[in-house]
Amino acid sequence: MLLCFGLISRAGAQSPDTRRFVLDNGLEVLLQQDDRSARVGIVVSYRVGAGHDPQGYRGLAHLTEHMTFRGSRHVAPLAALAAYQRVGATEVNAYTSATETVYHVNLPADQLPLALWIESDRMGFVAGAIDAAAFVLERAVVLDERRLRQGPDSRRRELLAEACYPEGHPYRVAASDEEDLEDLQVDHVRWFLQAHYRPDNATLAIVGDIDLAATAAQVERYFGPLRGAALEAPRKPAAAIVYRGTRRLQLEGSVSRERIDLQWALPCELESCRPVATLLRELLERRIQANIEQLGSVASRSGAALSTHDGHFELSVSLALAVTADLERVRSRLREEIARVVAEPPAESELAATRTSAIVGETARWESLIGRARMLTRRRDRGNPETLPSVQQSIAALEAVTAEALHEAAKQWLRMDRVFEWEISKNRRVEMRVDNDEGDLLPTERALR
């Protein structure tokens, strides 16, 4: 425990200086000062993702993300990446989820104006600068990425989303059909940019060695002139999913490893249950490592995960089986371990070790400038980001969770009658076969709501 608090000693006993404001054009700006290194982390989050792809245009959000790296009115194709590399930038990347598209970069603090120039040009001046030849190349890249995700092992997340969420839910993102991608044209990307890459549909977060007043002025200089008409109503956060009954998805295919995955939807708000949910994830991870992996039945890619959607949690356990493992035996052992977690609270020694692992992870989140900027943007729909707790407050919340509270959460959340389970097993065919032991691949709205 002393090691963990040694890691956070420089983070300070109080929350970092944070400022939130909204430009006249609707852009939400979140600034947080941290002068422990001469660098800044910048995140631009657009409230649009694959869940917003129109029917028949699957893959449009992802393809649009690719095209924003192909230049804008004032930035030559691929010049942004080269400029970032010249100044020593790291973590230059972007991704598209079901509900948002995120761009981020970590660079020296004195190069902040460069990032603001590049990202403001991405926001306002890509649509009119798309090159037809570059579009064809990027569409081919996205198609290749899609083709690499055809096997059951790599497509399990897509299939899970299709099976878990009812029709119309933003997380029920179908896989990008090749026909849809092949039919996409330059004008579709231009429309998507104009409809969604707007200042009033985005959040800019900057964390690092900055002066709050001077940085606010720089943001106003680069982003203030941008305008964008609101072409559609803002999306409301999706309601939390509650599993009604157990769903089981079985896949068979030509895979390198068999898998077993379980997933629960936690019926609580993000901020209220984060400490206990974090510790429960860590406890499951430790049980897998201690009591299943030691049998030589599970590969190193196994563990437990906690994901967030619009302020709600999903907790999952994932086991990648060793080549020689017996799937039935591993499944039985996994259920035994979950039943143990539900049946009795952890011993104080196990809880202490679990808490230490969680504190190390929490510290790592705070030490990352990009990670903290993402924490700010994720809170935009859940109250004032200025109330973001300090690292010591977050750790204190973990310290306050008792063995009894953790046990009570396990009993309420790890219910085997409200779980989504899927397995991937081997066969000699290259084709994939999908079965469901309740008759239908997709649950109805009566099953999930």
pLDDT digits (tens, 9 = 90+) for 95-152: 998 889 999 999 999 999 999 999 999 999 999 999 999 999 999 998 888 777 665 5
Whether 402 is in a domain gets the answer yes
- Report whether pLDDT(443) > 50: no
Mean pLDDT of 185-195: 94
**219 and 262 inside one domain:** no
Q: Are residues 207 and 75 in the same domain?
A: yes
Looking at residue 446, its pLDDT comes to 24
Give the pLDDT confidence score for residue 354 in this predicted structure: 95
Domain end among 208, 223, 238: 223
**5: pLDDT strictly greater than 50:** no
Dist CA 25 CA 223 (whole Å) = 9
Quick check: 365 pLDDT over 90?
Answer: no
337 shares its domain with 273: yes
The two tokens of residue 178 are 């090749």
pLDDT of residue 137: 92
Per the domain annotation, does 214 fall within a domain? yes
Instruction: Tell me the three-class secondary structure of the chain, residue by residue.
Output: CHHHHHHHHHHCCCCCCEEEEECCCCCEEEEEECCCCCEEEEEEEECCCHHHCCCCCCCHHHHHHHHCCCCCCCCCCCHHHHHHHHCCCEEEEEEECCCCEEEEEEEEHHHHHHHHHHHHHHHHCCHHHCCHHHHHHHHHHHHHHHHCCCCHHHHHHHHHHHHHCCCCCCCCCCCCCHHHHHHCCHHHHHHHHHHHCCHHHEEEEEEECCCHHHHHHHHHHHHCCCCCCCCCCCCCCCCCCCECCCEEEEEEECCCCCEEEEEEEEEEEHHHHHHHHHHHHHHHHHHHHHHCHHHCCECCCCEEEEEEECCEEEEEEEEEECCCCCHHHHHHHHHHHHHHHHHCCCCHHHHHHHHHHHHHHHHHHHHCHHHHHHHHHHCCCCCCHHHCCCHHHHHHHHHCCCHHHHHHHHHHHCCCCCCEEEEEEECCCCCCEEEECCCCCCCCCCCEC
Q: Do residues 27 and 137 share a domain?
A: yes
**Residues 219 and 251 grouped into a single domain:** no
Residue 241 in any domain: the answer is no
Same domain, 76 and 193: yes
Say if residue 181 is in the same domain as residue 267.
Answer: no
Specify whether 274 is located in the same domain as 391: yes
What are the pLDDT digits (tens) for 23-76? 999 999 999 999 989 999 999 999 999 888 888 888 899 999 999 999 899 998
* Distance (Å) of CA 207 to CA 107, 163, 377: 11, 38, 11
The domain that holds 161 is classified in CATH as 3.30.830.10
Q: Considering the chain, what is the average pLDDT of its residues?
A: 80
Per-residue model confidence as pLDDT tens digits over 303-315: 788 776 665 678 8
111 falls within a domain: yes
Whether residue 212 sits in one domain with residue 333: no
Q: Which of 29-33, 229-233, 324-328 has the lowest average pLDDT?
A: 229-233
Q: How many domains does one find in the chain?
A: 2
Confidence of residue 364 (pLDDT cuts 50, 70, 90): confident
Residue 394 lies in a domain: yes
Nearest-angstrom CA–CA distance, 313 and 272: 11
Q: Note the pLDDT of residue 166.
A: 65
Mean pLDDT is lowest, of 1-15, 130-144, 182-196, 320-334, for 1-15
With respect to residue 270, please indicate whether it lies within any of the assigned structural domains.
yes
Confidence of residue 80 (pLDDT cuts 50, 70, 90): very high
Q: Is residue 418 part of a domain?
A: yes
Q: Render pLDDT for 377-428 as a digit per residue (tens, 0 to 9).
A: 886 545 555 566 678 888 999 999 999 999 999 999 998 888 888 777 765 3
Residues 177 and 285 in one domain: no
- Residue 372 reports pLDDT greater than 80: yes
- pLDDT at residue 425, as a whole number: 72
Q: What is the residue range of 258's domain?
A: 247-436
- The answer on 251 and 195 residing in a single domain is no
Q: What is the pLDDT of residue 237?
A: 54
Point out the least confidently predicted range of 317-321, 390-394, 424-428, 431-435: 431-435
Of 206-215, 410-419, 430-439, give the range with the top mean pLDDT. Answer: 206-215
- The pLDDT confidence band at residue 15, using thresholds 50, 70 and 90, is low
Whether 444 is in a domain gets the answer: no
Share of the chain above pLDDT 70, in %: 72
Q: What is the pLDDT of residue 147?
A: 74
332 lies in the same domain as 272:
yes
